[in-house]
Structures are given as structure tokens and as C-alpha cells.
Structure 1
Amino acid sequence: MKQNRILYIQYTNPAGYPPLEHSSQILAKEGWKILFLGTGASGADALKFPAHPNITIYQIPFCEAGWRQKLHYIRFCFWIFISVLRWQPQWIYASDILICPIAYLLTFFPQVKVIYHEHDSPTTTSDSLFINWCLQARVKLAYRAKFCILPNQDRVNKFALETTTDKQIFCVWNCPRRQEVSDTDSFTQKNELWLWYHGSIVPSQLPMTVIKAMAKLQKNIKLRIAGYETIGHQGYVQELQTLANTMGIGDRIQYVGTFSQRSELLESCSKCDIGLSLFIKPTMQPMTGASNKPFDYLACGLPLIVSDLPDWQQMYVKTGYGLACNPEDIDSVVKTIQWYSQHPLETKTMGEKGQQKILDEWNYETQFELVKNQL
């Protein structure tokens, strides 16, 4: 009997998307053979998947925008088509908008079923002819794919409206796996309170108001940052550090760089006390359930500080997993952090409650179960 095979394709570094790591690890554990074909990524090139005997990963180097990138994309397409013919997977797992033209063509290959997983919902119009071509292919792929996956219900509804597809759409939150839940107690450093942020380091998610708030707080409250700068915000880490130095708190801000694997990232996260998951204004696409940050923090035993947006308060604050603040208001940020510093026992309890929620429900094994049963 032929062994189950699934080919993951994405025109970026697949390790930049935790759900791809989670789903592939779950399937590999059950005996599936997994092949990833991707590229490098600016800022996120260092990210890697953990090794597994059933998972093979091939990537071609990242290419900057311009005419060379168009040739690069064509080369990538041919690489995908040849690999499908040679490796003969039963399933293709396609991720995000740039892969849609290739994935749509693959739906016509015999004996191949295609899944489309949209991590980031695109705008429906663009000035770019190429992006508009990808958007048209997205609609066609929505009709031809076996089924589609999106990371929260609002995006599911939006996708169904935009594509008018009659195919099944699964809502799968970007949760960690159960094995990623830390067994290390938070709040072990009684003399210090460490705030933690990880992800893409951009002003909309780690605003300078956090640094300004730190300057108003006692010296034992510190901030540790992990992640990478995006193409649009090169040098932002240095801007944060320069501001901290100017305000006399440079020694209380630590940038630890990019961890190549999630296990290293979460280990460092678990040594801190409070997780920051902020957006300075309502986002163009709904983020609750789609943002992996709060789930990762809770898995490590960290209670949350989230933006005072209605959906974030409903999901994380009213349920007792964190507090909310206005990330554009320095005093609001100060007040929220101060509450945690003055209530260590309550903070520890909130973190433990969050970990249990991850183990019981907010884990990728639970979220992915319905999808796995379709394969």
C-alpha cells in the first residue's frame, strides 16, 4: 500500500508560519511523508523547522523584488510541477495568496487533491498586475480546492463572501501544540518583572509607547524582545533601543534576536512573566484566533497584556487570561503593567489558568482534528 504523502508549497519560508509546523508534525507522527517546497524570506530567513525523519524541506534562496523575482517565481513554479510529477503526493497543502496560481493549476492534476490555507487575508484589489492575477486565481482555487482553511471565523465569513465558494471552509486557530506547553513556572525571579514580546518587530505591534511607559515604572520592570524586522521597518529595533537609551532605561531593554526554532523561542518566553500582544489600532483583518502570540504566551504560563479592542477583551480579558490597555496611551500601559507588579499571586494564577486552557482546548491537535479527518 502506498504511503500517504502530502506536499506543502508556499512562496516564502514555511518556518515563518507556525501552523505549517504544527500540522506537518501531527501528520508526520502518524506516519505521513511530508515534503516542503518553499523559498527564503527577508528578515525571517533564519527560521527553521525541527528535524523529523518523515519531513523533508527544500528551499530556494530569497529574491528581492524586481524583474529577477519574476524569473525566480517562474523557476519556482516549474520546480513545483516537476516535484509533483516525480514525488506523486496524494495531497497538496498550499499556503497564501502568492501560491494561488500554482495551486489552482495543480487542481487539474489527476490523483491530486489540493488544500488552500490562507494565513493572511489579502485586500481584494491591487495596483499590481501580478497580485491581481493571484487574487483571480484565489477565487478559482476556492472553487477547485478540496477544502480551505482560515484562522478565525470572521475571516472564514469574509473569504466565503469574496469567493462565493460552495466548498467546505474550516476555521483553525493558530494555537500551539500541547507538547509546547511549558512546565517551567513563571514568576520565579521575585526581584524582577520581565515583559516579553515576540514576532515581527513593527510599530503597530510594539509601539514606542511601551518604551516610554517603561521609563515611568520601577527599575525592576524590564522588557525582552525576540523576532525580526520586516522590509518596511528596517532599523526599528535600533530606534527602540535609541529611545530607551535617551530615556535612561537602555539597560532594561533586551533584544535577543531571532530564534531559529520555536522550541528555543518558547523556552526563552517561559523565563519571562508577562506577554505583550498589542495593536495600536483596529487591524484590517480580524486577529483574534489568527494571532499566535497570545496563545504562545499562555502556553508558556504568561498572562497577557492586550489591546483594549472589543474582540480581544472578549476572548482574553473577560475570560481571565490577561488585562487590556490602550497601547497609544502611555499612562494606560503604565497602569496595566503596574497592576501585575503589585499582584504577583494573581498574575501567577492567570498564567496557570491560561496554560490549562491551552492543554484543554486552545491547542493545534484539537483545532486540526477536523481537517486531519478529511485526509
Structure 2
Amino acid sequence: MKPKVAHLSSVHTATDTRIFRKECSALVSAGYDVTFIVQHSQDEIVNGIQILALPTPKNRFKRMFKLVWHLYQRAKDTNADIYHFHDPELLVLGLLLALSGKKVIYDAHEDTPAQILDKEWINPLIRWPVAKALALLEHLAITRFKAVVTATPTIAKRFPAFKTETVQNYPILGELETTSDATYAMRPHAITFTGGLTAGRGAREIISAIHLAAQQQDICLKLAGYVWPDSLQDELSHAPGWAHVDFLGWQDRQQVASMFSEVRAGLVLFHPLANHIHAQPNKLYEYMSAGLPVIASDFPLWREIIDSAECGLLVDPMDPEKIAEAINWILEHPADAEAMGQRGRDAVYSQYNWDAESVKLINLYERILS
């Protein structure tokens, strides 16, 4: 009989890249019976993964309490051999499962206590005590968990080394590459940002930079994803730079790959917040995997990655003029930019890819079940 595993999330989508496309898919390929309990429209089987649907809550409070309780009930009913959960708000749920004798893995995608210190929706007066309380809960709960999986080595430093495995969010080889008859130099003057665009991820600075860059040459920002919150999108839509934005909305992976073949660079311009400086965003490696030069925030870790591969330009993410200069340099030097992109792709194929990370995940599961 195949070992049965259940991945649990109250926050992520059913097609989440790390959970669904990488971890769950790798486990299916390794012969596991995989269930993913997540917000979705209906129960269904997709690519061999049993998705058990949770309703979409009306607000954050209902998600963190009512939805989590619903998730717990569905999780118990699966009677899995391993439960692997992905959200800090599920720590108590994970602890309840562990106390009932279940094998539990906590997947720490972010340094959440550091992230809380920059959460705008949390009153600044209580951010520090909330962050400390969460850190304490994490460390108490993991004494009962079988393992902690972390998305970066920096996050791993927060947990006991003997039960921590770092499984990085590197791209799946070939997933975002397409063949095109057009050479790089024939592409339109377009750049892209993919994913969730927020104030902390440089929304205002990016739109201002596009406005400045457009004063020198025609340019288009292809925005694939969403802007959060809605009030920020409304604000940006009235900014001068928005006239140069092609807002594509959510795109599936095939659409993203096609769009990457039509642009000249990718932006990842996070603000220097506590949870960003040591982060390793998916989009950074995805741009590299598609052969796109990157324009990125000049953080020490990102400088190490980008300088070692010679695959992009680093800028002050708070300075729209410097961002605009980098954009214009990419557009004005197509041969150099194309070479940067090729070096980034080479780095992904030689080092920054999902193949080796999936092996670490499977080996962890085998140790837990042995």
C-alpha cells in the first residue's frame, strides 16, 4: 500500500507552485498517495493529487478560526501517515495532530516572526509581542513534530538542525522556457513583474520608474499576477506610469512562459524589510530559468547570487530613478542583456533547480516513515 500523506494549507491556492507543483508532484512521482487540503471550488483529482476543497472565508478572522477548524476535521478524516502543513496559523492544528500520535512536518516558507514586524494590518504597538509569541509557539510545537522543512538556509537557522531540512524554492527545469522565432533583440521594449505586487514589493517605485524610463523610449511593463490591496491598485491606476502597464492578471504557468518569451527583463524590487533581506523569491530564479536578466534589490544575499552568475543589475529598490536607469540600460544594450539572461539560465541548470531539492524532500519522508 502506498504511504498516504496530506498537505494542509488555509492560505495558499490549490495550484501553489511550492506546495502543489513541486512538493506534492514530487511525492506522487515517488509513489506516495497525496492529498492536498486547501481552499478550492470542489474536491477533485489533479495530476494524481487528491484535492480536498475548503470554502473561501469572507475575512481573515473567519479564515484563521472557522476555516482552520474545518481543515482540521478534513485532515483527521484522511488518516494520513504524514501530515505536512504550510501556514503558521496551523501550528495549533499541527500540534493537535501530533499529540494524537500523527507524524507532522511544519513547512516554514517565511521567517514569520520577522514578517510580523512589517505587517501593516497589525497594530504597531503589538507587533513585537505578537512576533515573540509566535516564535515561542513555533519552538514549543516543533518539539512534537517529526521535522521542519524550510524554504531558505536563513530560515533554517531558527530551528534545531537535527530536525530541519532546507528544501529551496528553485525552479523546475524547462517549465518556463518556450521556443520563439524572434531573437532577444527583436522582442518589444517590455519588462515584467510576476506574482503579488504590494507596497512592500516595490509597487509605487516600479510604477514611478516605468514613468521615468518611458520618457526616454517606448516601454511596457507586463504585470502578471495581482495588486494587493485593491486600494493600492486604485492608487496605481491613477499614476502616470500606469499608462505603460499591461495588467494581465493571474496567468497559468504556460501563459507565464509565453509572456517571458516576449519581454527583456524581470523585476524583483522588494523593500529592505526584515523578512525580505534574506528571502529568496521564486520570481528571481524563475526569471533566470527563462533566460531573462534580472533587475533586483541590492541586498547582500541577492548580490551574492546575481554577481556570482553575472545575470542582472542591482539597484536601490527605494529609488525610482535608479530603477529607471537600470531598465533603460537593459533596453539599450540587448547583446549584453541577452548574455546576462543566458548566464542566469546556465546557473539554474547547474545549481538553482528543483531536481536536487525534490530528492531532499523524498529522503526526509523516507527517514520519517522508516
Q: Output the TM-score relative to the length of structure 2.
A: 0.84
1:316 to 294, 306, 318: 306
* Counterpart-to-counterpart distance in 2, 1:36 and 1:374: 19
User: How far does residue 319 in structure 1 lie from its aligned partner after superposition?
Assistant: 2.7
1:269-326 deviation per Cα after TM superposition (whole angstroms, max 9, x unaligned): 332110000023x221255553111011111211100012222112113430110111
Amino acid at match of 2:206: V
Paired residue for 2:154?
Answer: 154
User: How far does residue 173 in structure 1 lie from its aligned partner after superposition?
Assistant: 1.7
CA RMSD of aligned residues (A): 2.9
Paired residue for 2:106?
Answer: 116
User: Is the contact between residue 10 and residue 37 of structure 1 (CA under 8 Å) also seen in structure 2?
Assistant: yes
Give yes or no for the alignment of 1:51 onto 2:42.
no
Give yes or no for the alignment of 1:72 onto 2:67.
yes
- Give the match's secondary structure for 1:302: coil
- Give the match's secondary structure for 1:58: strand
Give yes or no for the alignment of 1:254 onto 2:253.
no
Cα 1:137/1:288, change in 2 over 3 Å: closer
1:330-341 alignment, distance < 5 Å? 330-341=320-331
Cα 1:141/1:14, change in 2 over 3 Å: farther
User: How far does residue 79 in structure 1 lie from its aligned partner after superposition?
Assistant: 2.3
Paired residue for 1:8?
Answer: 7
- Give the match's secondary structure for 2:186: coil
User: How far does residue 264 in structure 1 lie from its aligned partner after superposition?
Assistant: 2.8
User: Is the contact between residue 195 and residue 276 of structure 1 (CA under 8 Å) also seen in structure 2?
Assistant: yes
Cα 1:108/1:306, change in 2 over 3 Å: same
Paired residue for 2:56?
Answer: 62
* Counterpart-to-counterpart distance in 2, 1:65 and 1:225: 26
Greater percentage in helix = 2
User: How far does residue 69 in structure 1 lie from its aligned partner after superposition?
Assistant: 5.8
Amino acid at match of 2:196: S
User: How far does residue 76 in structure 1 lie from its aligned partner after superposition?
Assistant: 2.5
1:1-375 alignment, distance < 5 Å? 2-15=1-14, 17-21=16-20, 22-39=22-39, 51-52=46-47, 54-63=48-57, 64-66=59-61, 70-84=65-79, 89-110=80-101, 112-123=102-113, 127=126, 136-157=136-157, 159-160=158-159, 165=160, 167-184=162-179, 188=184, 190=186, 192-217=188-213, 218-230=216-228, 233-244=229-240, 250=243, 252-259=244-251, 261-280=252-271, 282-286=272-276, 288=278, 290-375=280-365
User: Is the contact between residue 173 and residue 289 of structure 1 (CA under 8 Å) also seen in structure 2?
Assistant: no
User: Is the contact between residue 14 and residue 39 of structure 2 (CA under 8 Å) also seen in structure 1?
Assistant: no
- Give the match's secondary structure for 1:198: strand
* Counterpart-to-counterpart distance in 2, 1:81 and 1:216: 55
Identity %: 19
* Counterpart-to-counterpart distance in 1, 2:11 and 2:292: 30
Amino acid at match of 2:205: T
- Give the match's secondary structure for 2:19: helix
* Counterpart-to-counterpart distance in 2, 1:131 and 1:306: 28
Unaligned 5+ residue runs, structure 1?
Answer: none
User: Is the contact between residue 305 and residue 325 of structure 1 (CA under 8 Å) also seen in structure 2?
Assistant: yes
User: Is the contact between residue 188 and residue 262 of structure 2 (CA under 8 Å) also seen in structure 1?
Assistant: no
1:57-113 deviation per Cα after TM superposition (whole angstroms, max 9, x unaligned): 1221221134686333323322222222xxxx2221111201111111222344x42
* Counterpart-to-counterpart distance in 2, 1:182 and 1:291: 19
User: Is the contact between residue 55 and residue 67 of structure 2 (CA under 8 Å) also seen in structure 1?
Assistant: no
User: How far does residue 345 in structure 1 lie from its aligned partner after superposition?
Assistant: 1.0
Unaligned 5+ residue runs, structure 2?
Answer: 117-121, 366-370
Amino acid at match of 1:228: Y
Q: Output the TM-score relative to the length of structure 1.
A: 0.83
Amino acid at match of 1:212: S
User: Is the contact between residue 10 and residue 98 of structure 1 (CA under 8 Å) also seen in structure 2?
Assistant: no
